[in-house]
Amino acid sequence: MAEALKDQTVLVVGRGGGLARAIVLGALDGGARVVAAGREPDALAAAYGGETMVSAERVDLTDEGSIARLGERLGTVDVAAAVMFALTDTFLTGQTLHVDGGEPLT
């Protein structure tokens, strides 16, 4: 993927490990500038401390104001990826989630 994302900004929302980290590192390999965003920007900055093409930002995807502020700070983003687990608790989501219309997730 060398240079496939050259001169593009990639936003990755998630933690600094696992799938989010793989996406960040893949985007870097592709030549992108990466914004790693999440609820703990200090932890993200530490996770990507040696990467000069990665910046860390704070965002809470459950808060529309937080999302709007991130958008104002970043301006144009070429690619965005959000890495998170599905909230399956009816108390949290207000709905029961089903897999392909089948059994509810609990």
Task: Please check whether the domain covering 9-93 is classified as CATH 3.40.50.720.
Answer: yes
Q: Which residue has the tokens 């998170």?
A: 84
CA dihedral 65, 67, 68, 69 (to 10 degrees): 90
Q: How far apart are CA 36 and CA 45, in angstroms?
A: 8
Q: How far apart are CA 52 and CA 48, in angstroms?
A: 8
pLDDT in tens, 43-64: 999 999 889 999 999 999 889 9
pTM: 0.75
pLDDT in tens, 80-99: 888 765 444 444 555 555 55
Collapsing DSSP states into helix, strand and coil, what is residue 47? helix
Domain ranges of the chain: 9-93
